[in-house]
Amino acid sequence: MKPSHIEHIGLAVRNLEESIRYWEQVFGLKCYRIEEVADQQVRTAFFKIGDTKIELLESMDADGPIARFIEKKGEGVHHIAFAVGNVEEALQSVQDKNIVPIDTKPRPGAEGMQIAFLHPKSTHGVLTELCSGSTNEK
Ligand code: ZN
């Protein structure tokens, strides 16, 4: 596996609208998309900075993973996502190196991407997302 770039940085926030205002007013960025990802019980908002995005994550469920994260650690950096050509191959390659994935096969993420998370216990504390674009046919 060799990622091409950091696709996005996922930030856990309590209130999506308030956080969008921060990124728009302080950084002068424009939120170009808001999307609900039912699978992860989150509402997401996206900003582009070069090839990288900021992904804001607000829990839609008081018991969801983002809500639990904020309860434990407060708002802040939740995960880092790396763009890989093929999530399935990348997953296989990291598992061959004894890295423990949270997802053993790719699942649908925001923006039509295929994603899979690796467990922070085997990534030196960084919740790591592997993702590839929506065009998955080869
Ligand atoms: Zn993400």
Distance from Cα 134 to the centre of ligand 1, integer Å: 14
pLDDT at residue 38, rounded to an integer: 84
pLDDT at residue 135, rounded to an integer: 45
Does residue 51 lie in a domain region? yes
Distance from Cα 3 to the centre of ligand 1, integer Å: 15
Distance from Cα 138 to the centre of ligand 1, integer Å: 23
Strand partners, 10: 55, 79
Tell me the CATH number at 63. Answer: 3.10.180.10
| Total domains, the chain | 1
Structural domain range at position 103: 5-133
Instruction: Work out whether the CA dihedral 26, 29, 33, 36 comes out positive or negative.
Output: negative
Does residue 95 lie in a domain region? yes
Distance from Cα 93 to the centre of ligand 1, integer Å: 20
Distance from Cα 78 to the centre of ligand 1, integer Å: 9
pTM of the full predicted structure?
0.91
Distance from Cα 50 to the centre of ligand 1, integer Å: 17
Q: How far apart are CA 135 and CA 32, in angstroms?
A: 20
Distance from Cα 120 to the centre of ligand 1, integer Å: 14
Does residue 74 lie in a domain region? yes
Assess contact for 131 and 7: CB atoms under 8 A: yes
Q: How far apart are CA 29 and CA 111, in angstroms?
A: 19
CB contact set of 78 (below 8 Å; sequence gap of 6+)? 10, 11, 12, 57, 66, 69, 127
Does residue 138 lie in a domain region? no
pLDDT at residue 131, rounded to an integer: 95
The per-residue pLDDT string of the chain (138 residues; one tens digit each, 9 = 90 and over) reads 899 999 999 999 999 999 999 999 999 999 999 999 887 899 999 999 999 999 999 999 999 999 999 999 999 999 999 999 999 999 999 999 999 999 999 998 888 899 999 999 999 999 999 999 854 333
Does residue 68 lie in a domain region? yes
Distance from Cα 41 to the centre of ligand 1, integer Å: 13
Helix (H, G, I), strand (E, B) or coil at 87: helix
- Tokens for 42, please give them: 């989150």
